[in-house]
């Protein structure tokens, strides 16, 4: 059925919010893009290594480990450690994840995406969404707010005051029997960043595509992301990161065959 432009407003619900750092008072983003090496990331079990070309884009961390029920965890380097207090309520920890192969065997047990942070002040775990097969690069995003995490020891404020261990589950598939061919997964674009909702949105226009525009600050790189459902924290990159090219920047996304999408804008650096 051909849809008139005006009725698209009835079919498409658009939300947009803008991420912009808070100037001199901002907590600096912490980012791993694995462009040249593993950036001191490790994986707690199984095989792991760096790929120069299979990332989102460029390099990424790859891991391969078959036995269930253990799921391999990527271990963040020291640059992600420290006082996360200023991220509380306005920060996000996100990463790109891809299942390249689910491996072999007779039973495949998929686990939800999982992040654990811990330190002298406590331990908390975040989970959301469970893949069911191989995936494309998928953005997984966890808000740094207490209601989104399961605190198993200590206090939220005490934990955030000194995070000494960040674990991101890289293996999403458990294989039985244990000697089955291993699954292969990757992680890229790990970002601990500030999200803010108070930056001005210049315009949001819909014709046959959604046009998302925003006011930009010089020397910043932006990434527009989208998701299709309101009740999931799985975000996808829309095109590549945008280096600012003026006071207003625009990214378009086709509406063809899409009932509803939610957009957001991140400041990468
Ligand atoms: Ca990369």
Summarize pLDDT for 116-163 with one digit per residue, the tens. Answer: 999 999 999 999 999 999 999 999 999 999 999 999 999 999 999 999
Q: Which residues contact 93 (CB under 8 A, 6 or more apart)?
A: 115, 141, 142, 144, 166, 190, 191, 192
Ligand 1 midpoint to CA 57 (Å): 5
Report pTM. Answer: 0.66
What CATH fold (topology level) applies to the domain 27-193?
A: Jelly Rolls (2.60.120)
CB 104 within 8 A of CB 181: yes
Q: Which residues contact 126 (CB under 8 A, 6 or more apart)?
A: 114, 115, 116, 142, 148, 149, 150
- Encode pLDDT of 2-16 as tens digits: 333 333 333 333 333
Ligand 1 midpoint to CA 229 (Å): 26
Q: Where in the chain is the domain with CATH 2.60.120.260?
A: 27-193
Average pLDDT, integer, range 186-215? 74
* Structure token pair of residue 177: 């029997």
Which residues face 122 on adjacent strands? 119, 154
- Encode pLDDT of 40-57 as tens digits: 999 999 899 999 999 999
Residue 198, pLDDT > 70, answer: no
Ligand 1 midpoint to CA 9 (Å): 36
Q: Where in the chain is the domain with CATH 2.60.40?
A: 6-20+196-267
Query: Rounded CA gap, 140 and 114, in Å?
Result: 9
To the nearest whole percent, how much of the chain has pLDDT over 70?
A: 80
- Encode pLDDT of 70-104 as tens digits: 799 999 999 999 999 999 998 999 999 999 998 88
Residue 69 has a CB neighbour count (10 Å cut-off) of: 8
- The reported pLDDT for the residue numbered 197 is 57
Q: Which residue shows structure tokens 């315009």?
A: 203
Nearest CA to 19 among 110, 184, 143? Answer: 143
* Structure token pair of residue 87: 């991220």
Ligand 1 midpoint to CA 138 (Å): 13
CB 248 within 8 A of CB 240: no
CATH dotted code for 6-20+196-267: 2.60.40
Report residues near ion ligand 1: CB below 5 Å: 33-34, 55, 58-59, 188
């Amino acid at each position: 059925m051909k849809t008139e432009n005006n009725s698209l407003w009835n079919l498409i619900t658009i939300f947009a919010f803008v991420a912009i750092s808070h100037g001199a008072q901002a907590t600096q983003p912490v980012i791993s893009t694995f462009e040249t090496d593993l950036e001191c990331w490790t994986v707690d079990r199984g095989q792991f290594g760096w790929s120069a070309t299979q990332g989102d884009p460029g390099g990424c961390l790859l891991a391969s480990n078959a036995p269930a029920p253990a799921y391999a965890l990527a271990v963040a380097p020291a640059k992600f450690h420290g006082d996360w207090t200023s991220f509380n309520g306005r920060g996000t920890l996100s990463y790109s994840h891809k299942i390249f192969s689910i491996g072999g065997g007779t039973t495949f047990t998929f686990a939800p995406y999982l992040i654990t942070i811990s330190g002298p002040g406590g331990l908390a775990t975040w989970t959301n969404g469970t893949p069911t097969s191989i995936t494309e690069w998928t953005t997984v995003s966890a808000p740094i707010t207490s209601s989104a995490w399961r605190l198993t020891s200590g206090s939220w404020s005490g934990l955030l005051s000194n995070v000494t261990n960040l674990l991101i589950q890289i293996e999403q598939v458990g294989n039985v029997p244990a000697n089955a061919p291993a699954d292969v997964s990757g992680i890229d674009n790990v970002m601990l960043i500030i999200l803010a909702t108070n930056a001005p949105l210049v315009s949001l226009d819909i014709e046959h595509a959604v046009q998302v525009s925003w006011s930009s600050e010089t020397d910043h790189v932006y990434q527009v992301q989208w998701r299709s459902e309101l009740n999931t924290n799985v975000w996808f990159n829309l095109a590549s990161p945008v280096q600012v090219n003026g006071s207003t920047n625009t990214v378009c996304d086709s509406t063809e065959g899409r009932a509803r999408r939610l957009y957001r804008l991140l400041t990468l650096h």
